[in-house]
Amino acid sequence: MRAKGQAFVIGAGLAGLAAATHMAARGAKVTLFEASGQAGGRCRSYFDPNFDGVIDNGNHLVLSGNRAIYEYVNRIGSSASLTGPVRALFDFVDLESGARWTLKPNDGLLPWWVTSAARRVPGTSAGDYLSYAKLLFAGRRQTVGDLVDCSGPLWDRLMHPFLLAALNTEPQSASAQLAGAVLRETLAKGGQAYRPRIATPTLAAAFIDPALAFLKIRKAQVHFNERLRAITFAHRTAMALEFPDATRPVSSGDAVILAVPPWVARDLVPNLPAPTEYRSIVNAHFKIAAPLGAPAILGVVGGTAEWIFSFADRISVTVSGADAIVDKDREELAKILWADVARALDIPAALPTWQIVKEKRATFAATPDQDARRPVSQTGWRNFFLAGDWTDTGLPATIEGAVRSGETAAALALRQLSL
Ligand SMILES: Cc1cc2nc3c(=O)[nH]c(=O)nc-3n(C[C@H](O)[C@H](O)[C@H](O)COP(=O)(O)OP(=O)(O)OC[C@H]3O[C@@H](n4cnc5c(N)ncnc54)[C@H](O)[C@@H]3O)c2cc1C
């Protein structure tokens, strides 16, 4: 069935693509506008001439239990591009002490792996893990540091790196409720829910190109280099979308989903509550094949590098919550991070061809104050909805949150379109 109204989606990041593909699958007439020349937003791949190869803006780790992500990749037909081990296994190295270990969580709900010294973090006891259960019942104003002891081997070797990666915010001052949401969807669900999954060979192959192909087949229109400049609101309705070259009228039977980052949304929507503080992520890409037997992902403690991702044609390093290093000179960063990689993976080679990607506003700061500023998808304008990792998904700024926000907005828009 075709609705009379049509759906406009602004922003072709994962929230916008999830919303657009969801609505196109249900028969809606969809038009997507993207300000830049490519889709993907903060999760994109591109050819880098200096690197002479395709790179991702940053490594993106997702997990086997990410329900919305799997619904999305199944819809667009790219689930085979998410690769990873058949069991939840996480290799770590401590660059200060030289210690190496592999976490081996069991699959089922009962986490008996914490009782096995061979499977848990060295130097920890089962009771240490139990103390983190408090985060599952956190209040909205509490920080992680209010509820758990932010010191000791379990903190240093697992919980700090894990929560820093998930929240992209120094965990001690981060929202305990968001940390609890991450634990609820991962550690609390058993190893089968948190097998690591990596977009292979690129983010575009798993998340972006198949979505654009899906939209094309369903005759959705996708316009690149179309930056929304203003929205006209009147009578509790979005009435028009103003682009540099044209103003498009919106009828009360249409639906508009705004899926842009928070700093853009605040300029376009009057009196919008939205996060105002952000945290950076630095990624380094090294053009060198990973040594045989290198783990697909290696957690690093005691260095500047935090996670090392090994691909057939490159090694990529992620540093989350990177505000302390983001302004450093690129070459200096490349040298520091390569030194960590060379030690962690035991590679004798000198600094290979490299690229540093700095994302200064990678995510909103996952503090209780910023979390409290996140709006829900439904707005006071009946044909106008919000999506984005920064809307009130209950999760930190992640692909899973972005996709869920797009699905929520799409469900509201479909109701508006009577589909
Ligand atoms: C380096 C890095 C590493 C990350 N690692 C992980 C990870 O390991 N795991 C994980 O789950 N998440 C990770 N994330 C977070 C994840 O990338 C984001 O949560 C997600 O991509 C956000 O999607 P979005 O659609 O909400 O926003 P965006 O991706 O920001 O999309 C918004 C889109 O709107 C467009 N736009 C802006 N203004 C306008 C306008 N006026 N008109 C039209 N279009 C406009 C933008 O160009 C953009 O394409 C990482 C992020 C970064 C930056």
Distance 180 CA to ligand 1 centre (A): 23
Share of the chain above pLDDT 90, in %: 98
Q: Which atom of ligand 1 is nearest to the CA of 165?
A: 8
Give the Cα-Cα-Cα angle 350, 336, 89 (nearest 5 degrees).
90
pLDDT band for 36, please (50, 70, 90 cuts).
very high
Please state the rounded mean pLDDT for residues 289-317.
95
Distance CA 393, CA 375 (A): 9
Of all protein residues, the one whose alpha carbon is nearest to atom 53 of ligand 1 is 362
pLDDT band for 337, please (50, 70, 90 cuts).
very high
241 and 248 in contact (C-beta within 8 Å)?
A: yes
pTM (2 d.p.): 0.97
pLDDT band for 4, please (50, 70, 90 cuts).
confident
Tokens for 117, please give them.
Answer: 């010294």
Please state the rounded mean pLDDT for residues 295-317.
96
The matching CATH number, chosen from 3.50.50.60, 3.30.460.20, 3.10.450.630, 3.10.129.10, for 7-47+203-276+367-416 is 3.50.50.60
Which residue bears the tokens 């053009």? 287
Q: Identify the pLDDT of residue 2.
A: 55
Q: Of 29, 393, 44, 321, which Cα lies nearest the Cα of 167?
A: 321
Share of the chain above pLDDT 70, in %: 99
> How many CA atoms lie within 13 Å of 109's alpha carbon, on the beta-carbon side?
1
29 and 9 in contact (C-beta within 8 Å)?
A: no
pLDDT band for 185, please (50, 70, 90 cuts).
very high
CB neighbour burial string for 106-137, b if at least 16 within 10 angstroms, e if fewer: beeeebebbeeeebbbeebeeebbeebeebbe
399, 400, 408: residue to mutate for ligand 1 pocket, most atoms within 8 A of CB: 399
Q: Evaluate: CB of 362 within 6 angstroms of ligand 1.
A: yes
Please state the rounded mean pLDDT for residues 7-15.
98
Range list of H helices, 168-298: 176-185, 203, 209-217, 262-268
Q: Where are the domains of the chain?
A: 7-47+203-276+367-416, 90-193
Q: Which atom of ligand 1 is nearest to the CA of 357?
A: 1
